[in-house]
Structure 1
Amino acid sequence: MADNSLPLLSQSDHSNQPPQTDHDDHHNHDDIVVTSLDDMIEQSIGCFGWAQFVQAILVAIASIFDSQQSFINVYTDSYPTWHCTNGTTTAACNSTSNICQLSRSDWAWDRISSSSIISEWGLECSSAFIRSLPASSHFTGCLLGILFVSALADSSLGRKNLLLFSCLIMSVTTFMGVLSNNVWIYSLLRFISGVARASIGTCTIVLLTEKIGRRWRGLSGVIDATFFVIGTLSLPAIAYISGGSSWRAMYLWTSIPSLVYCALLHFSVSESPRWLFMQGLVDEAMATLKRLSPNNNEDINVSLLLDHHELDHVHSTHHDDHQTSNKFNIFSSIGELFVKQWARRRTLALMVLGFGIGTVYYGMTFGNGNLGVVFNGLSEMPSVLMIFYLIKSLNRRSSILLLCVTSGICCIMTVVVRSSELEMVQIGLEVGSFFGACTGLNVILIYAIELFPTCVRNSATSMARQALNFGAIFSSILVSIGKKNELLSNNVIFGLIIICCGFSVVFLPETKDAALCDTMDEQERKDNNIVHV
């Protein structure tokens, strides 16, 4: 296999040059020497300037719509409250009655029937499978989208184009959901929306991270999480504003702004410079770095940082290796994550972690309905600050294990303390469980970016997201089954799962303050050097 670690600009190229004198100071920037792509990018955009900040905000806005579509079913597919009618002929009708055993004239919904798909389409007596079909269809679509769509960000489409494509398809299918007239069409549209939405979260965090230097890596998680919180908390606000109207209003309020955002994304957001270099698009990559440079190109002349001949050689070896490893799979680079033992071990460990965190993150949100969405949002606000602290101060493995164990213990304790006298304690424990899960979710996505090289980075992050969706599907079904029982009994299962899954971090290496690699061979050599040292 070709040696993919060939320097972009060799030190030996300058070994015979005389020392720089004072009268040549104005040429200093032309003599910057970089020995890797990561060094060159750090030299260009290692500081965080206004251009990077604006780009980060424009990219992170996508997380608002990602968040909204994750939890919108809590409102549109909710089981409405009802009451006995004044003219009831059944003496047994009361607040604890089973409406499926009552005459339809004996009771009525508290709100208009179109406030939820349950009441509009008469699903109140349907099976748990039917009632949970739209939500489970959406997250099943997310699973397939990760397998067959997300990896395109590492190959042909790139981070920006896949983000644009995903947002556009999700927005259109969300808008079309307004026209649904039965649960089957509605579930199909939710499925397609899930396929498209699968790539948004990964493209957003990867694109954010690859446009800033390593010392600001935690900031990408903070910005992404902040906008995800905005999206989560916007749902209760939209539900309040549209109170008393049809569930279709929720989809109009969320689809139209996302369609407008697609135009903004297309014209205002630039592609990842790392991905452009890996594709051999040198001129575009350098132009992007110039626009992002906090020094306004005065201190760093990017065009002189690269030797085009050597870069073309490096790209050709990267491209040949990438094509060889994917010749049997033209749709995705996910297969590369399972070829080598070290990559396979990391991928599986990340997926186990993701499943545990996703089970609690989505399970407690779905289980608590509107209150769960509010708890989620309130938990994520302090989580945003915690992410920045954890990324800057603590190592990744200890942070994730601590968050998983804390979340699991809080989840289990909500069952232990359930009583009217300890209601506030129970609420506090639920918020604590949310906090641990949502903080862990954001940390694990940053961790995935650091564990894998540029050529498969989006695919690896997608696999972590896929595991989160597995947790979402599992928890949504469990919550739906448990509707007729004490809901909090599910929390014991959720808590045990996240604690057990948290210990899979022992199979992962530490990556705090590590440089990002660009190829599988480079990553392997770097890891071997660390082990030998």
Structure 2
Amino acid sequence: MADSTTPLLSRSNSEAEPETPRLAKQVPSLDDTIERCIGSFGWAQLLQAVLVSLAWVFDAQQTFISVFTDAEPTWHCSRPDDPSCNSSANLCLLPKDAWAWDKPSRTSVLSEWNLACAGPVIAGLPASSFFVGCLAGGLVLATLADSSLGRKNMLVLSCLMMSVTSTLTAFSPNIWVYAALRFVSGFGRATIGTCALVLSTEIVGKRWRGEVGVIGFLLFTFGFLSLPIMAYINRESSWRTLYLWTSVPAIFYCIIIHFAVRESPRWLLVKGRKDEAIETLRTITTRNQSSFRLSVSFSGISIVPETFDGNLYSAIKALVEKKWAFRRLMAVMTVGFGIGMVYYGMPLGVGNLAFNLYLSVTFNALSELPSSLLTFFLIGKLNRRSSLLVFTIISGICSIMCVVVGESRQVLQVAVELVSFFSACTAFSVLLIYTLELFPTCVRNSALSMVRQALVFGGVFSPVLVAAGRKDGFLSYGVFGLVIGCCGLFVVCLPETRGGTLCDTMDEQEYKEIIASNGGDDV
């Protein structure tokens, strides 16, 4: 291996070596060069990674806020001596003056706008609109972070769109405006997680890539945990207050990251903006290097030009046209669909377990914390492929066990539900990091966006299955288990990536595929 002080990809005239393919000599080594310039991990990189990853807090809050704002409040008979009221479990069959809400009607969307008897389609419209908006936003915005805007600008735009719309949601006059604003909020939210994850991991060396990625998952957990706390504090207040509590801080956060966070040097280099990349590296360097020395470090890099054009969806086109990329994308999206159905479905379905709503959501949120910690400390040692297979199978088995155990043993039922959700959360985290490593820099954000689309698409079906599961538990937890278990099997089609070097272009990645298929070592 060449000494680190020698120019990148240089060769001594006295060295005699076998002739190698021309492409191999053109392969850039940004991992080694970036680590040589700024170190594998330092305080400046940690600060930027934490600032960027804070977006996950607001992402989690807007994703699960409808659990409280759109919940059906408890009610009581206003005439305790009325036997018809006391014997009825359906308030829609009673006269309006025969019952009353336990809390003020303003505490929930359903009680304020009298939607409790409007049917499941109308009552579930805002939540469904949010997830449909996530799908639409992912399709429209998926490649902007790779093509024109970059990671940082796309993160600011997405987070600002979500937070401003959520603020306006607090002033909705009716269910239709409310659902429309939730759609726009979901549209903006679609790329927050992908941009934050990619941007935070592209400024560190490969040794700390997985750990830095898990920071976002930990902060997502804290965002999830903050919801029941805020909801409990405002339990007698309007549901509009909860939207203001979660959206206004997000607006100030967008302003902070606009001025305090730098763009990904990898993306800048791939786009040919070498001077900006060097300036970015200089600001976060952990070593005493001048701009001149950084320029020398990168002067030997020759990025292989991409064969696809630079239009908005060129990254998606490249992923589809390359057989190895398409095969990987379809496999990880299938796995993501199964994980998403359980990940988004479990918190929505805890109401079917007849537990206190605040405690149920808190327990599920708390189960994300050990999942994130487990991923944080073990991601460097976990094989991506085998760990995904194990966690999806465990989640599937435990989800089906929720039906087998039944409501007669509620403690055991809740326990296996939490194990299932814990396993799905861990699989979720590993899948996103795995996706980062499967695709090169030029299409990495787009590929990750497509995987998150598959996760959200699985979540679209979850509310329908949860509603059906109120009468037959197998239609919710049973289906959850079968889907995640079967989809998880597709991970066997993917290569192992732990400890590998990130590629930056499609040609470089394809060359590695050729070497691997011929039984050679990675370049």
Q: TM-score, normalised by structure 1?
A: 0.89
Q: How many equivalent residue pairs?
A: 497
After TM superposition, give the deviation of residue 301 of structure 1 in Å: 3.0
- Which residue is equivalent to 1:255? 247
After TM superposition, give the deviation of residue 181 of structure 1 in Å: 1.4
Note if 1:237 corresponds to 2:229.
yes
Written as runs of structure 1 = structure 2, the 5 A alignment for 1:69-84 is 69-84=62-77
- Which residue is equivalent to 1:10? 9
Note if 1:386 corresponds to 2:363.
no
| Correspondent of 1:211 among 203, 209, 229 | 203
After TM superposition, give the deviation of residue 424 of structure 1 in Å: 2.1
Note if 1:449 corresponds to 2:436.
yes
Percent identity over paired residues:
52
Paired residue secondary structure (1:108): strand
- Given that residues 403 and 473 in structure 2 are in contact (C-alpha distance below 8 angstroms), is that contact kept between their aligned partners in structure 1? no
Q: CA deviation digits over 1:24-50, x for unaligned, max 9?
A: xxxxxxxxxx95223212322442110
Written as runs of structure 1 = structure 2, the 5 A alignment for 1:362-377 is 362-369=344-351, 370=357, 371-377=359-365
Q: CA deviation digits over 1:158-208, x for unaligned, max 9?
A: 000000000111011000001111111111100001110000000011111
- Given that residues 383 and 496 in structure 2 are in contact (C-alpha distance below 8 angstroms), is that contact kept between their aligned partners in structure 1? yes
After TM superposition, give the deviation of residue 431 of structure 1 in Å: 1.1
Quick one: distance in 1 between partners of 2:432 and 2:157? 21
After TM superposition, give the deviation of residue 87 of structure 1 in Å: 6.6
- Given that residues 147 and 334 in structure 1 are in contact (C-alpha distance below 8 angstroms), is that contact kept between their aligned partners in structure 2? no
- Given that residues 145 and 154 in structure 2 are in contact (C-alpha distance below 8 angstroms), is that contact kept between their aligned partners in structure 1? yes
- Given that residues 37 and 297 in structure 2 are in contact (C-alpha distance below 8 angstroms), is that contact kept between their aligned partners in structure 1? no
Give ranges in structure 1 of 5+ residues lacking alignment.
1-6, 18-33
- Given that residues 149 and 199 in structure 1 are in contact (C-alpha distance below 8 angstroms), is that contact kept between their aligned partners in structure 2? yes
After TM superposition, give the deviation of residue 482 of structure 1 in Å: 3.5
Written as runs of structure 1 = structure 2, the 5 A alignment for 1:136-285 is 136-285=128-277
- The 1:117/1:243 distance shift into structure 2, 3 A limit, reads same
Amino acid at match of 2:55: A
Amino acid at match of 2:382: L
After TM superposition, give the deviation of residue 332 of structure 1 in Å: 5.8
Q: TM-score, normalised by structure 2?
A: 0.91
- Which residue is equivalent to 2:24? none
- The 1:193/1:419 distance shift into structure 2, 3 A limit, reads closer
After TM superposition, give the deviation of residue 84 of structure 1 in Å: 0.7
- Given that residues 49 and 201 in structure 2 are in contact (C-alpha distance below 8 angstroms), is that contact kept between their aligned partners in structure 1? no
- Given that residues 349 and 505 in structure 1 are in contact (C-alpha distance below 8 angstroms), is that contact kept between their aligned partners in structure 2? yes
- The 1:96/1:521 distance shift into structure 2, 3 A limit, reads farther
Quick one: distance in 1 between partners of 2:73 and 2:504? 51
After TM superposition, give the deviation of residue 290 of structure 1 in Å: 1.9
Amino acid at match of 2:186: G
| Correspondent of 1:355 among 329, 337, 350 | 337
| Correspondent of 1:346 among 323, 328, 336 | 328
Quick one: distance in 1 between partners of 2:360 and 2:389? 24
- Given that residues 308 and 314 in structure 2 are in contact (C-alpha distance below 8 angstroms), is that contact kept between their aligned partners in structure 1? no
Note if 1:39 corresponds to 2:32.
yes
Quick one: distance in 1 between partners of 2:91 and 2:28? 72
Note if 1:314 corresponds to 2:313.
no
- Which residue is equivalent to 2:22? none
After TM superposition, give the deviation of residue 331 of structure 1 in Å: 4.8
Paired residue secondary structure (1:457): helix
Quick one: distance in 2 between partners of 1:294 and 1:531? 38
- Which residue is equivalent to 1:437? 424
Quick one: distance in 2 between partners of 1:363 and 1:480? 10
- Given that residues 126 and 178 in structure 2 are in contact (C-alpha distance below 8 angstroms), is that contact kept between their aligned partners in structure 1? yes
| Correspondent of 2:481 among 468, 492, 495 | 495
- Which residue is equivalent to 1:482? 469
- Which residue is equivalent to 2:397? 409
Quick one: distance in 1 between partners of 2:13 and 2:412? 68
Q: CA deviation digits over 1:241-267, x for unaligned, max 9?
A: 111011101100001100010111101
Quick one: distance in 2 between partners of 1:274 and 1:16? 33
Give ranges in structure 2 of 5+ residues lacking alignment.
1-5, 16-26, 352-356
Amino acid at match of 1:158: G
| Correspondent of 2:506 among 495, 520, 527 | 520
After TM superposition, give the deviation of residue 372 of structure 1 in Å: 4.3
Q: CA deviation digits over 1:262-283, x for unaligned, max 9?
A: 1111010111110010111111
- Given that residues 46 and 215 in structure 1 are in contact (C-alpha distance below 8 angstroms), is that contact kept between their aligned partners in structure 2? no
- Given that residues 115 and 244 in structure 1 are in contact (C-alpha distance below 8 angstroms), is that contact kept between their aligned partners in structure 2? yes
Written as runs of structure 1 = structure 2, the 5 A alignment for 1:25-64 is 36-64=29-57
- Given that residues 270 and 288 in structure 1 are in contact (C-alpha distance below 8 angstroms), is that contact kept between their aligned partners in structure 2? yes
Paired residue secondary structure (2:308): helix
Quick one: distance in 2 between partners of 1:348 and 1:477? 25
Paired residue secondary structure (1:295): coil
* More displaced 10-residue stretch of structure 1: 431-440 or 336-345: 336-345
Quick one: distance in 2 between partners of 1:288 and 1:267? 13
* More displaced 10-residue stretch of structure 1: 370-379 or 285-294: 370-379
After TM superposition, give the deviation of residue 136 of structure 1 in Å: 1.0
- The 1:502/1:250 distance shift into structure 2, 3 A limit, reads same
